[in-house]
Amino acid sequence: MTLSEAQKHSLSTVDARMPELSQWCSTIFDFGETAWREYRSAEWYIKRLRAEGFTVEEGSAGMPTAFCADWSNGDGPIIGMYAEYDAIPGNCQAATTHRAPRDGLGYQAGGHTDPHSGLGIGALGGLLATKAAMQACGIKGGLRFTGEPAEKVRGSKPIHAAAGYYDGLAGMLSFHPFYMLPMCNTVRWDTHCGAAYAMIYRFICDAPEAWGRGGDAPIPQSHSAIRAPGASEALVQMYALSKALRESMLPHQGGWSISEAILTAGQATADNQPAGLAEVQYMVRVPTVEMAEQVTAALDRNAEAVAAMTGCRWERHWVCKSRPGLANHAMANVVWDALQQAGAPEWGDDAVRVAQEIQENLGQPPMAEPFIDEMSRLIPPQEAEAILRRDLPPSQLNSTSDDYTDMSWHAPLARFYIARPALKTAGAPYPNWVMNALGGIPETIDPMIRTAARVCAMSALRLLEDSTVRDAAMAEFTERTGGGVGGTNWMPPLCDYPPPIHFRWPEYVTTPRGMDWWIPSAMPDA
């Protein structure tokens, strides 16, 4: 592939803006905000995009920490990119070579693990380089950049998709830091991520007097009178039943999982009152929507049973219902061509010294070449696909989990992975904080950001400038969906619920002590 003048211009722009991109990544990393509560991160992106000349809709599709930014250089195709910026509770880590939380916080606060801080800034760098090249070379068309909160619960993209934010795009570029082999410095080919359902089961004990036979009055000996077990007991029973249920559920093969998180528990106001409210969230990751529906039906039966046992009523509230991903080989080839031009990220002596210092701090002898070899190699999409398929039955079309999949039903999409820093092991695995720290230290994360920005920009400009490849990508999308959006093979959005923003999601709070995590950082850390 011969680079166009616009593509060459975009590469120069990325290099010129790398000091800014590095600083911006550190800013988002330090925010460490978690799902549905990414207030400062979203505010930062909105302010930055407006300063770069984009028109920005805040709170897109009813999500306070989402946005949609648009820029146009005249009539023409529109290319989509996006940022994610949510972190994970319990992973607070400073950008340093030893285990330490960020200043003023405890380990239970949010922290970037994948890291989405680098994901968003890598994509933003590609976006701004594309815009600069379009202006310099007079390329007509537009750019759309969406802010996608709550990816860790697959939150925003099903909602944005149902609201039409991806409709009409000529192509969507989906970048993610690598998180598993062989998906490192490559593009997904056939096997895209699968379906996922997430829901909150809420148990409310607001009529405990109705649980018994009705003859026991709470007075005069109310402390020893019969009373409803209440919402906490409902949550405990739901948790235990659903753990056991996994052994009997439908999906016995292929990549699938169910995980849970307790959001709210207790709410008792006195020692002789049953707990009035408890909530538990489930995330169901399965290859197909049919599997997700069957698991949900089983969870519903459990909720109904434990509610009856404990004197509660129950509610199910959706967090996400997302579709499995749709492949597009034409788009994958566009990005693979760009990735070959960009080359694998390069980690210099400064990054090696950081890695060696981490190893020394863990009591390990520093390695001369501390990073895994795969970080510096490219792997062709078809070769990565063959490795990925080794552990999957032939009938399984989708595997693993991410909500970019909802975008793939509205525009031709390529999903690609750029290496992030990862250390070679010499026996025992590294503690989780190591990967988190490497994702925030500029010397180790900047090479990924630079490469991702270059690939995004070159791919976007190829689609804007070359109608042949753009038409091929759209023709394949039309064929796979049986006619495009609304076609005979098209899977419509599953989202039939409002944004789940009103639950007790973990977040930062402001108190007379200042800003703190909702679990006070003064508490001893485990």
Within a domain: residue 279? yes
Within a domain: residue 472? yes
The residues pairing with 198 across neighbouring beta strands, listed in sequence order, are: 283, 320
Does 382 have pLDDT greater than 90? yes
Mean pLDDT to the nearest integer, 281-288: 93
Q: What is the pLDDT of residue 89?
A: 94
On whether both 352 and 455 belong to a single domain, the answer is: yes
On whether both 154 and 290 belong to a single domain, the answer is: no
What pLDDT, in 10s, does the model give residues 318-373?
Answer: 999 999 999 999 999 999 999 999 999 999 999 999 999 999 999 999 999 999 99
Within a domain: residue 477? yes
Note whether 253 and 395 are within 8 A (CB).
no
Lowest mean pLDDT among 167-171, 209-213, 411-415, 441-445: 209-213
Six token digits for residue 120? 């968003």
Q: Which residues contact 524 (CB under 8 A, 6 or more apart)?
A: none
Note whether 174 and 415 are within 8 A (CB).
yes
Q: Tell which of 277, 305, 323 closes a domain.
A: 323
Closest CA to 421 of 406, 402, 440, 408: 440
Q: What is the pLDDT of residue 480?
A: 98
Mean pLDDT to the nearest integer, 429-436: 95
Does 514 have pLDDT greater than 90? no
Within a domain: residue 488? no
Decide: helix, strand or coil at residue 408: helix
pTM here is 0.94
Six token digits for residue 277? 């409210």
What pLDDT, in 10s, does the model give residues 394-414?
Answer: 989 998 889 999 999 999 999
Q: What is the pLDDT of residue 207?
A: 84
On whether both 285 and 385 belong to a single domain, the answer is: no
Within a domain: residue 117? yes
Residue 267 banded pLDDT, cuts 50, 70, 90: low
CATH of residue 254: 3.30.70.360
Six token digits for residue 109? 């606060």
Residue 276 banded pLDDT, cuts 50, 70, 90: confident
What pLDDT, in 10s, does the model give residues 474-512?
Answer: 999 999 999 999 999 999 999 999 999 999 999 999 888
- Can you tell me the distance from the alpha carbon of 325 to that of 408, in angstroms, rounded to the nearest whole number? 6
Within a domain: residue 269? yes
On whether both 165 and 178 belong to a single domain, the answer is: yes
Q: Tell which of 284, 300, 323 closes a domain.
A: 323
Q: What is the pLDDT of residue 264?
A: 76
Within a domain: residue 505? no
Within a domain: residue 489? no
> 277 is in which domain, residue-wise?
196-323
Q: Tell which of 272, 300, 323 closes a domain.
A: 323
- Can you tell me the distance from the alpha carbon of 62 to that of 58, in angstroms, rounded to the nearest whole number? 9
- Kind of pairing between the strands at 67-72 and 55-58: antiparallel
Total tally of structural domains belonging to the chain: 2
Question: In Å, what is the CA distance from 286 to each residue of 141, 192, 410, 489?
Answer: 38, 12, 21, 20
On whether both 181 and 207 belong to a single domain, the answer is: no
What pLDDT, in 10s, does the model give residues 5-44?
Answer: 999 999 999 999 999 999 999 999 999 999 999 999 999 9
On whether both 240 and 364 belong to a single domain, the answer is: no
- Can you tell me the distance from the alpha carbon of 465 to that of 519, in angstroms, rounded to the nearest whole number? 51
Residue 246 banded pLDDT, cuts 50, 70, 90: confident
CATH of residue 123: 3.40.630.10
